[in-house]
Amino acid sequence: MNLSSLQSEKVIHKMISIDSIKIAYREAGEIGNPVLILLHGFPSSSHMFRTIIPKLSRHFHIIAPDLPAFGFSDIPNPETFKYSFENYSNIVNHFLEELEIVKASFYLFDYGAPILMRVLIKRPEMIEMLIFQNGNIYNEGVGDVLKEISGLYSEINFESFIKLKRFFEFDYTKWEYLNGVQDIANISPETYFLDQFLMDREGVKAIQMELKSDYKTNVALYSVWQDFLKELQPVTLIVWGENDEVFKKEGAELLQRDLPDSKLLFYPTGHFALEEFGDDIAEEIIAFWYLNFKLL
């Protein structure tokens, strides 16, 4: 490997102020290469992309932000910052504007899917390629876990609150990483330990509980996003951990149905598919982009 390749794989950790909130982000790859935005979900951060960024950065200019109250971004006071998916989409949009991103591919995972869909439906001209990885926009893709959480929020009593709290504790965070995987020995323990350590910071669990309660606003927009994608027919790669019990494989199958020119690949793993199949997924992203935009 030559020196320029090594330099392109170097990951730089940066901070930028967006609407008076410090947003941490990882950046790699040469400026001028096609831009690829990687957006994490719950309960993770840009750390979830640590294994694929070096490989992707040989071909793309990679940008992977941490959302407010996730990873190493600021934790705004809930009295002055509304923790909602709509407000997160505003932050992401302003982040892209500040970095002068006008065209990019987007990796939509978990919470990142509804946040980015809110951005992209307003700015469809930005889309070069979409990569959906266990990022759902279909009712049929919602797993029993989220249905249970939704039911608990609707009850609003002490007993339901106690049950809700367990979805923000270590055992559940660990479960999200280990459920459905081929071999738990493939999963680095620091993933779920880091996520929980950051969630255990003062005030963060209450914030995450508030944000989770707002997920219903995403479900209300599912059909709008489906119609948007069916009309636009963007170049789309779908890579999915088929054993995911948070967002089920049916969501991936329906996405491919509505985007018949998309490519769908299932992997025998769970929600955090990159932990076991990161190399394979990175290779598929690179190959799919070259197939659609540039001769190999």
Q: Give the residue numbers annotated as catalytic, written as ranges.
A: 271
Query: From the CB of residue 296, how many other CB atoms can be counted at a distance below 10 Å?
Result: 6
Cα separation values, 252 from 1, 79, 159, 206, 238, Å: 36, 37, 34, 31, 7
Burial of 134 (0-12, 13-18, 19+ CB in 10 A): buried
- Residue 159 to residue 134: CA distance in whole angstroms: 30
Burial of 264 (0-12, 13-18, 19+ CB in 10 A): middle
- In the chain, the amino acid numbered 282 is A
- Residue 179 to residue 96: CA distance in whole angstroms: 33
- In the chain, the amino acid numbered 229 is L
Structure tokens at 112: 């990142």
Closest by CA position to 274, among listed 27, 92, 41: 41
Q: Which residues of 139-166 are buried (b: 16+ CB within 10 A; e: fewer)?
A: eebbbebbeebeebbeeeeeeeeeebee
